[in-house]
Structure 1
C-alpha cells in the first residue's frame, strides 16, 4: 500500500483505554479501503480486532486540495 501511494499517513493511537492505530488511506470508495484492510498482514494474523472506516475531508494541511 505504501509503495502504491495508498497510505497517506499511519501510526499508533494512545493506549488508553485500549491500543489501536490510525491509517489515512487514499481510495476511490469504501470497498477499496475494505480490500486494503483485509490484505493487511496484521489482519491475517488476527491482531486486528475491529475496524472503523470513515470518510475524511481535509480542509487545511498537506492533504487538503
Structure 2
C-alpha cells in the first residue's frame, strides 16, 4: 500500500489498481474513481464528484 517516505502514495500502478478493486468490491462505483500517475513517481486514486470530472479528493496522498 502507500509507502511512508515523504508524500504518501501508491508505489506502483498495480498497488493502486488492487486498492481500487477492493473499493469497488465494497460497493464503490468504478466511474467515481480514476488512477493518476504522479510526475515524481507513484500513483494516487482520484475520487470524482457525481459529474465525473470534478475532483472530490485523493486516496494515497
The answer, yes or no, to whether TM exceeds 0.5 is: no
Looking at secondary structure, tell me which structure has more helix per residue: 2
Q: Using CA pairs below 8 Å that are at least 6 residues apart, which structure has the higher relative contact order?
A: 2
Looking at secondary structure, tell me which structure has more strand per residue: 2
Q: TM-score by structure 2 length? A: 0.38
